[in-house]
Amino acid sequence: MADREYAYYSGCSLEGTAVEYDISVRRVMEALGIRLSEPEDWSCCGSTPAHTVDHLLAAALAARNLTIIEKMGFNTVITPCPSCMMAFKKAHHRMKEDIRFKDEVNSLLDEPYNLNVQSKSALQIIIEDIGLEKVKERVTHVMPDLKVAPYYGCILNRPPEIAQFDDPENPLSMDKIFTAIGVEVCDFAFKVECCGAAYGVPKRDMVNELTYKILSMAVDCGANCVAVACPLCQQNLDLRQQQVNIRKNTSFNIPVLYFSQIMGLAYGYSPEEMVIDKLVVNPDSLISSRITLSQWNEMKAREAEASKAKKKEKKNIEKIEEET
């Protein structure tokens, strides 16, 4: 039985190239007692390119979807894709601040948007509405070999006056979630550096350089995988490694997973259910050591007993040496 219900806007990417993100988010939300209701007849939000052509049309594309959600009776919509989320947030923000702009946008819509819907990322819902205690309670499996570099990208928490979640320079939401589910988090300095994904076609050399820097920092901080919350970032960092290796004479082979896939694995879902095989760089070597929480606790208890026995033995030896 669901504890909460939210509108859920998957967006275009999660219906196609990032379907594993959609599936993993839906299953994690279900595990956490969240029911998702998808708007009927939703359309593209305009995302990254629309505002470069026409700000009014870009806002109308986003507002059309927000109007549908508003009519469903929801005041919050979960938008896993940062580009979609920021399209919604920017349209809402400008319409709220500029009445004339709001009227112009609504004149393009069949029905007006009345500014009653908040768009939030899946991360924000998990942190603010569900809470870390419940995140931790749902864990059934441990992945002891996983060392994660949490990569947030450049738009998830920016600009802060519009995003209104987490720190724009040192976000911690993913870090906290991974810590709660027992995954080792590395001190990753390039959390919010741009990977250049939006310029992947016209400026390949620049994007390769940015990707190289992010992957290098991930390796340098001791990570063996990167976690993301953005379809563009995931595809760029995952797909482009071979290009970077050729250009920079490197040998990157670091898996790039969605944070929701890692959560799902910790919640007992199989790699198949998390659509792990869709990733270009295979993470099987890292997740094959996954064990149940009870097995992990038993192993730690044995290690503690062994450590205790070793200390006792050392103490006895020291005592004998003192007596002699």
DSSP one-letter string for 131-155: -HHHHHHT--EE-TT-EEEE---SS
Banded model confidence at residue 202, pLDDT cuts 50, 70, 90:
confident
* Confidence check: pLDDT of 254 > 60: yes
Percent of the chain at pLDDT > 90 equals: 88
Instruction: Tell me which residue of 287, 288, 281 sits closest to 234, measured CA to CA.
Output: 281
Cβ neighbourhood burial of 115 (10 Å; 0-12, 13-18, 19+): middle
Banded model confidence at residue 1, pLDDT cuts 50, 70, 90:
low
pTM score, whole prediction: 0.94
CATH 3.40.50.11810 maps onto the chain at: 139-289
CATH of 4-120, one of 3.40.50.720, 1.20.1050.140, 2.40.10.350, 3.90.1150.30: 1.20.1050.140
Domain spanning 139-289, CATH class: alpha beta
> What average pLDDT score do residues 199-213 get?
92
CATH 1.20.1050.140 maps onto the chain at: 4-120
Q: Cα(first)–Cα(last) distance of the chain, in Å? A: 69
Banded model confidence at residue 136, pLDDT cuts 50, 70, 90:
very high
**DSSP state at residue 257:** E
Report the C-alpha gap between 311 and 142 in whole angstroms.
Answer: 28
